[in-house]
Structure 1
Amino acid sequence: MTTALQPPLPSQPLLRLRLASRSAMPRPIDGAWWPRSYDLLTELPRLLAGLPQAWGHIASATVNGTTWSAVPGRMLVSNQAVRLHRTLGASAAHTIVLLSPGRGRWDLLVVPPDTTAEAAEPLMAAAASGRV
């Protein structure tokens, strides 16, 4: 198990996350996340710290195993275990699936870290508005 410190230090860059507004209708994508690197051990704790409290404790995350540099079986984030699952499917290449028992499932578009701001902005806006 890997341990990640929380919350991020003030010197850490701001989280680049845009979530769709709440809706009674299910959406295929619940927002977009633009990490700064492919280092999941660094990026996932920042993401989880920035999620709405209403989402509760994220117990598991599923990511594309070929996209991220390292994906251990689980990691400790803010003294809570998060199980990490890898998928190798092409359909999930740019998503992360977050599960919170009793609260729900959220699928986020992952904008590749090396994307320019000009290219990332329309992707994040489209994901947040449900147009992805």
Structure 2
Amino acid sequence: MTSTLERTAPRDLAAELPARLSLTPKTTLAGQLDGAWWPRSRDLETELPPLAAALEEPWGRITRVTVNPTCWPAVPHTVHTAGRTLHVGWFTEQDPDKLILLSYTVGRWDLLVIPPETDRAAAARLMAAAAIPGSVLTAGVLMANEAVIGRGIRDVQRQEGGWENEGGACMSPYASLLDRSSLPVPGSTWR
């Protein structure tokens, strides 16, 4: 028998917790994104009500949401929230890492969607990057950059672990052991 574990919050708990958001400050600089949203699960029926409630004060009443269905196991046509209905649409042409929110009175907002299983450090970097006013980076570019950064951080941690396990030997990735004569002497130049 095989079982699958998902690192997502249970439906009841996710509905009670506030939405995790980072929004661009109000400015005249228009960018590709208006901020980032880090849902706790991939259940739109559970995640959209707290998001709509959190955005009501700064942006007004959200009436429609669009997503790319590749990142969501189920895309409902409507989601009920606070006595009203959010209409949900899906478009395969839309960036899978982006959520589009629409309001009849105020306009449109694009949010980077950070996958729920993302670790806290990566999510913090992504939320900060998506909230930079006037940024020309798209949701897909930010996610690709984070994949590279995350991989680089894991490589550095692995190298540091090797350093500790090898007794702290001074190693160069381009040569063998460096001897002390090849290190700079304080107050002088390289020899």
- TM-score class, shorter-chain normalisation, is 0.7 to 0.9
User: In the alignment, what sits opposite 2:104?
Assistant: 101
CA distance in 1, matches of 2:120, 2:58: 29
- Quote the sequence identity (%): 43
User: In the alignment, what sits opposite 1:32?
Assistant: 36
1:58 equivalenced with 2:100 (yes/no): no
CA distance in 2, matches of 1:22, 1:57: 18
User: In the alignment, what sits opposite 2:17?
Assistant: 13
CA distance in 1, matches of 2:23, 2:121: 19
User: In the alignment, what sits opposite 1:74?
Assistant: 78
Match of 2:71, SS?
coil
Shift of 1:120: 0.9
Structure number having the greater helix percentage: 2
Structure number having the greater strand percentage: 1
Match of 1:51, SS?
helix
CA distance in 2, matches of 1:54, 1:85: 23
- Are the aligned partners of 2:17 and 2:50 in contact in 1 as well (CA < 8 Å)? no
Alignment length (residue pairs): 123
Letter of the 2:32 partner, please give it.
P
CA distance in 1, matches of 2:121, 2:80: 34
Moved over 4 A (4+): none
The two structures have a TM-score, normalised by structure 2, of 0.60
1:117 equivalenced with 2:109 (yes/no): no
Letter of the 2:98 partner, please give it.
T
User: In the alignment, what sits opposite 1:42?
Assistant: 46
Any stretches of 5+ residues in structure 2 without a counterpart?
Answer: 1-11, 138-191
The two structures have a TM-score, normalised by structure 1, of 0.84
Any stretches of 5+ residues in structure 1 without a counterpart?
Answer: 1-7
Match of 1:76, SS?
strand
1:84 equivalenced with 2:88 (yes/no): yes
- Please say which structure displays the higher CA radius of gyration: 2
